[in-house]
């Protein structure tokens, strides 16, 4: 095989053999992935953490997201769609995780389970006064339906427009606008319960 490659070499050009070309392709792929990871690991992790509300699960989901991304790296055709593509993988991985947990936890949907679970901590007023703004916002987020939470996070945390949110969630532009409006209404009530005015 190597002989064939060398015989095809054109004078003046580097006669690369197959192993060298393969190694270079692998190096390029790894460099591309490292760049992707460098740019997106922080926002993806933050998004997933806000989605599931648990640091260990967020770490696992982020890790799974990037393993899947590496395996599917060849399917990205346009650099402009990379962000949506990664967030779509992260969203689906987070949804799978939530579904798996729902199957093993006989408490129904994620949000009601969180909302109805007996809370051993001090009463609501003491909690509101004692919790940081961040904790209160996270508690409010966890009360939302998962698709409302995703939509709101993509919009207000990751600053995506309706078109890009649609790409991530597999929804039309119009459907995203309706969903986002409902999510804001639900979040308004949840924030109000956490002591935020209005």
Partner 1 sequence: MTMNRHESFEELISASLSEELTETERQRLDAHLASCAQCTSTLAAFSDQRRIMAGVRHVGPRGISALGFARASSVVGLQRCPGGGDRPRSSQVSAEAWRRWPAHCSRWCCSTARRMNHS
Residue 156 CB, shortest distance to partner 1, in Å, is: 4
Decide if residue 55 touches partner 1 (CB under 8 A).
yes
CA distance linking residue 26 with residue 28, whole number of Å: 5
Q: Is 121 in the site for partner 1 (CB under 8 A)?
A: no
Residue 117, phi then psi, degrees to nearest 5:
-60, 135
Per-residue interface string for the shown chain with partner 1, residues 175-194, x marking contact by CB under 8 A: --xx-xx--xx-xx--x---
Long-range pairs of 133-136 with CB within 8 A, sequence gap ≥ 24: 136/191, 136/194, 136/195, 136/196
Taking phi over 0 as left and psi of -120 to 50 as alpha, with beta for the rest, 10 belongs to beta
Q: Which of 17, 33, 54, 114 binds partner 1 (CB under 8 A)?
A: 33
Assess 138 for contact with partner 1 (CB under 8 A): yes
Whole-angstrom Cα Rg for the chain? 23
| Positions that interact with partner 1 (CB under 8 A) | 26, 29-31, 33-34, 37-38, 41-43, 45-46, 49-50, 55-56, 58-60, 62-63, 66-67, 70-71, 133-134, 137-138, 152-153, 155-157, 159, 161-162, 177-178, 180-181, 184-185, 187-188, 191, 196-198
């Amino acid at each position: 095989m190597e002989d064939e490659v060398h015989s095809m070499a054109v004078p003046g050009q580097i006669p690369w053999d197959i192993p060298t070309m393969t190694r270079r392709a692998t190096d390029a792929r790894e460099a591309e992935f490292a760049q992707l990871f460098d740019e997106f690991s922080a926002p993806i992790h933050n998004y997933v953490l806000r989605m599931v509300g648990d640091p260990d699960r967020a770490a696992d989901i982020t890790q799974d997201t990037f393993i899947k991304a590496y395996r599917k790296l060849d399917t990205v055709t346009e650099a402009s769609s990379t962000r949506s593509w990664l967030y779509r993988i992260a969203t689906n991985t987070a949804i799978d995780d939530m579904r798996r947990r729902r199957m093993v936890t006989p408490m129904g949907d994620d949000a009601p389970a969180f909302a109805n679970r007996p809370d051993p901590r001090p009463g609501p007023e003491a909690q509101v006064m004692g919790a940081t703004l961040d904790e209160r916002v996270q508690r409010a987020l966890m009360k939302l339906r998962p698709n409302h939470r995703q939509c709101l996070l993509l919009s207000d945390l990751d600053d995506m427009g309706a078109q890009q949110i649609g790409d991530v969630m597999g929804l039309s532009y119009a459907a995203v606008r309706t969903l986002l409006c409902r999510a804001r209404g639900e979040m308004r009530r949840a924030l109000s319960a956490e002591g935020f005015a209005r």
